[in-house]
Structure 1
Amino acid sequence: MEPHAFDDFYLLCSLSIPLLSFMFSGQRKDLIRLSVAFFLFGLINNVLYVIILSAALDLVPPSTPKGIIAFWNIAPSIVAKFSWPYILKGRIRYVRRLIGCCCLSVTGMIVVAASEGLSSRLFGIGCASFASGLGELTFLQLSTTFHPASVAGRGVGYFASGTGAAGLVGAFLWWEIRGLGVRIGVGLSSVLPFVIPLTYFLLLPRPHSFSTLVLPDMEDSAPSTSEYTPLPVSDEDAGVETSLVKTKALSIAAKWQLLKPMLPRYMDSAFEYTINQGVAPTLVYPVPTLESSPVFGHIIHSIRDYYPLWQLVYQSTVFLSRSSLSLGLPALPTRALPIPSIIQGVNAYFRAGQEPAEAQERAFKMGAIGLADSLGILAASIVAMPTEMALCRAQVARGRSLCQQL
Structure 2
Amino acid sequence: MSARLEQQPEQFELPTFMDPETRLEEDERLLSQSENDKSAEMRKQQRSLLRLSLSFFLFGLINNVLYVIILSAALDLVPPVHPQSIVAKFSWPYILKGRIRYVRRLVGCCFLSVMGMIVVATSDGLSPRLFGIGCASLASGLGEVTFLQLSTTFHPPSVAGRGVGYFASGTGAAGLVGAFLWWELRGLGVRIGVGLSSVLPFVIPLTYFLLLPRPNELSSLVFSDPEEAGLPSSEYTPLPVLEEDAGEVVVETAPLTAKTLSLSDKWELLKPMLPRYMAPLCVAPTLVYPIPTPDSSPVFGRIVHSIRDYYPLWQLVYQSTVFLSRSSLSLGLPALPTRAIPIPSVIQGLLLAILSSESALGYFPDALAPGLVFCLISVEGICGGLSYVNAYFRAGLEPANAQERAFKMGAIGLADSLGILAASLVAMPTEVALCRAQVGRGRLLCQEL
- Give TM-score scaled by structure 1 length: 0.85
Residue 408 of structure 2, aligned match among 337, 360, 365 = 365
2:342 maps to: 338
Q: Is the 8 A contact 1:222 1:354 kept in 2?
A: no
CA separation in 2, counterparts of 1:114 and 1:57?
17
3-state SS in 1 of match to 2:443: coil
Bigger Cα displacement from structure 2, 388-397 vs 312-321: 388-397
2:427 maps to: 384
3-state SS in 2 of match to 1:205: coil
CA separation in 2, counterparts of 1:114 and 1:90?
38
RMSD over aligned Cα atoms = 2.3
Change (3 A) 1:151 1:218: farther
Q: Is the 8 A contact 1:104 1:128 kept in 2?
A: yes
Task: Note if 1:264 corresponds to 2:282.
Answer: no
Task: Note if 1:49 corresponds to 2:78.
Answer: no
Q: Is the 8 A contact 2:155 2:236 kept in 1?
A: no
CA separation in 2, counterparts of 1:145 and 1:171?
32
Query: What letter matches 2:308 in structure 1?
Result: R
Task: Note if 1:143 corresponds to 2:120.
Answer: no
3-state SS in 2 of match to 1:177: helix
Q: Is the 8 A contact 1:62 1:404 kept in 2?
A: no
CA separation in 1, counterparts of 2:53 and 2:144?
16
Gaps of 5+ in 2: 1-34, 349-382
How far has the Cα of 1:326 moved from its partner? 0.6
Q: Is the 8 A contact 1:222 1:356 kept in 2?
A: no
2:261 maps to: 250
Q: How does 1:36-75 map to 2 (within 5 A)?
A: 36-65=54-83, 68-69=84-85, 71-72=86-87, 75=88
How far has the Cα of 1:64 moved from its partner? 2.9
Q: Report Cα offsets for 1:376-404 as digits up to 9, x if no partner.
A: 11111111111112222222223222222
Q: Is the 8 A contact 1:160 1:322 kept in 2?
A: yes
CA separation in 2, counterparts of 1:234 and 1:45?
25
The structure 1 segments of at least 4 consecutive aligned residues displaced by more than 6 Å after TM superposition are none
Residue 286 of structure 2, aligned match among 248, 252, 274 = 274
3-state SS in 1 of match to 2:99: coil
How far has the Cα of 1:226 moved from its partner? 3.5
Query: What letter matches 1:120 in structure 2?
Result: P
Change (3 A) 1:166 1:22: farther
Bigger Cα displacement from structure 2, 187-196 vs 147-156: 187-196
3-state SS in 2 of match to 1:347: helix
Gaps of 5+ in 1: 1-16
Q: Is the 8 A contact 1:269 1:377 kept in 2?
A: no
2:309 maps to: 305
CA separation in 2, counterparts of 1:180 and 1:294?
27
How far has the Cα of 1:264 moved from its partner? 1.1
2:20 maps to: none
1:405 maps to: 448
CA separation in 2, counterparts of 1:177 and 1:217?
47
Residue 238 of structure 1, aligned match among 239, 247, 252 = 247
1:10 maps to: none
1:158 maps to: 166
Task: Note if 1:126 corresponds to 2:134.
Answer: yes
Q: Is the 8 A contact 1:63 1:404 kept in 2?
A: no
CA separation in 2, counterparts of 1:207 and 1:160?
20
Q: Is the 8 A contact 1:91 1:244 kept in 2?
A: yes
How far has the Cα of 1:287 moved from its partner? 3.9
1:6 maps to: none
Size of the alignment, in residue pairs? 370
1:3 maps to: none
Query: What letter matches 2:312 in structure 1?
Result: P
Answer 1 or 2: higher relative contact order, Cα 8 Å, separation at least 6: 1
CA separation in 2, counterparts of 1:368 and 1:402?
41
Residue 115 of structure 1, aligned match among 123, 128, 142 = 123
CA separation in 2, counterparts of 1:393 and 1:284?
14
Q: How does 1:82-231 map to 2 (within 5 A)?
A: 82=91, 84-217=92-225, 221-224=232-235, 226-231=237-242
Bigger Cα displacement from structure 2, 105-114 vs 20-29: 20-29
Change (3 A) 1:217 1:189: farther
Q: Is the 8 A contact 1:97 1:135 kept in 2?
A: yes
Q: State the identity as a percent.
A: 74
Query: What letter matches 1:378 in structure 2?
Result: L
How far has the Cα of 1:271 moved from its partner? 4.6
3-state SS in 1 of match to 2:189: helix
Q: Report Cα offsets for 1:250-285 as digits up to 9, x if no partner.
A: 22221221112111111124555510xxx25xx434
Q: Is the 8 A contact 1:50 1:167 kept in 2?
A: yes
Task: Note if 1:35 corresponds to 2:53.
Answer: yes
CA separation in 2, counterparts of 1:273 and 1:130?
22
How far has the Cα of 1:167 moved from its partner? 1.2
2:327 maps to: 323
Change (3 A) 1:246 1:298: same
Q: Is the 8 A contact 2:166 2:327 kept in 1?
A: yes
Change (3 A) 1:142 1:160: same
CA separation in 1, counterparts of 2:285 and 2:66?
17
Larger Rg: 2
Q: Is the 8 A contact 2:63 2:144 kept in 1?
A: yes
Q: Report Cα offsets for 1:34-77 as digits up to 9, x if no partner.
A: 00111111111111222122111112222334xx23x33xx2x1
3-state SS in 2 of match to 1:274: coil
CA separation in 2, counterparts of 1:270 and 1:324?
21
- Give TM-score scaled by structure 2 length: 0.77
